[in-house]
Amino acid sequence: MEEKSPLANRKICITGGAGFLGSFVQDSLHRRGITDFFIPRFEDYNLVEAADIRRMLSDAKPDVIIHLAANVGGIGANREHPAEFFYDNLMMGVQLIHEAWKFGVEKVVAIGTICAYPKFTPIPFRETDLWDGYPEETNAPYGLAKKMLLVQAQAYRQQYDFNTVYLLPVNLYGPRDNFSPRSSHVIPALIHKCYEASLRNDPEVVIWGDGTPTREFIYAGDAAEGIVMAAEHYNGPEPVNIGSGMEISIADLAELIAKLTGFTGKLVFDPTKPNGQPRRALDITRAEEYFGFNAKMDFETGIKNTIDYYIANRDAILQKG
């Protein structure tokens, strides 16, 4: 008989639960037989406002909060909205943790970001490297706003014995992602560009940067499973990376996506556009040691799943813009 989840009898609130990662967190909870959770919608609760957070807590009465909500985007969106990304993410997280402590919530699982790491972090990124330098400039406001939640989590644990854990997921991808050319991350952006170019028989696709940066990616379903496992089993003060243990250059990623979308033209890299952080790859030993998490999805299979989703939902995606 399968062991009952420690979350089974807890009231769970998932901020951002209706979003990309949130939909997979819902799936992970459903697999455990957990279906009764509260998902605050933006039209009902603006979590940047403390009054709305208090009202949400009063309505949800949660034992556990999984804080996924974020104002987030790719390099272009970070360059256009640095102030919004800083303010919205800082105010959401800091006020949520503070009000949750006052309300008597048992546990908060705060989701940080790989953008919190210093620009020139040694590979693989270890959690002990977090404070060894300034983040990469294009996403520093977002990364630092989310990094403050770690400071707050540790401070509230020290002074109030409040159980907030802090996770650092690497770049996510998968079905249900945001494919908007204006705000998407690199994988959905490349899928959109390459698939549409293949339909038009375009001779080339232009890609931001010079192709040399590397990234680690984790399938959203795997990341969600890691988050739920941490909610179930991790209660420590140290930040924990959530990753897959792989590393791929943007150039190799573009070639893979071009192949899988059927684009046969030329990939042209534009070095006048920012590269972002030079390399990203995580040390993922803590997640395995602390709560037994290992990513499962094969990367090429995950990319195929994401492309299949794009094709199946293409009309709605293009209409949304």
Domain holding 83, by residue range, is: 12-320
Residue 1 lies inside a defined structural domain of this protein: no
All residue ranges of the chain with pLDDT < 70 are: 1-2
**Cα angle 156, 37, 317; round to 5:** 105
Residue 3 lies inside a defined structural domain of this protein: no
Residue 4 lies inside a defined structural domain of this protein: no
Residue 248 lies inside a defined structural domain of this protein: yes
Contacts of range 189-192, beta carbons closer than 8 Å, 24 or more positions apart: 189/74, 190/253, 190/254, 190/257, 191/257, 191/261, 191/303, 191/306, 191/307, 191/310, 192/310, 192/317
Query: Residue 142 belongs to what H/E stretch?
Result: helix 140-160
Residues designated as active site: 142
Total structural domains within the chain: 1
Q: Give the per-residue pLDDT at 137.
A: 92
> Domain of 248: which CATH number?
3.40.50.720
Residue 163 has what DSSP assignment?
E
Q: Give the per-residue pLDDT at 1.
A: 40
Residue 295 lies inside a defined structural domain of this protein: yes
Residue 7 lies inside a defined structural domain of this protein: no
Residue 6 lies inside a defined structural domain of this protein: no
Phi, psi of 131 (to 5 degrees): -105, 20
Residue 5 lies inside a defined structural domain of this protein: no
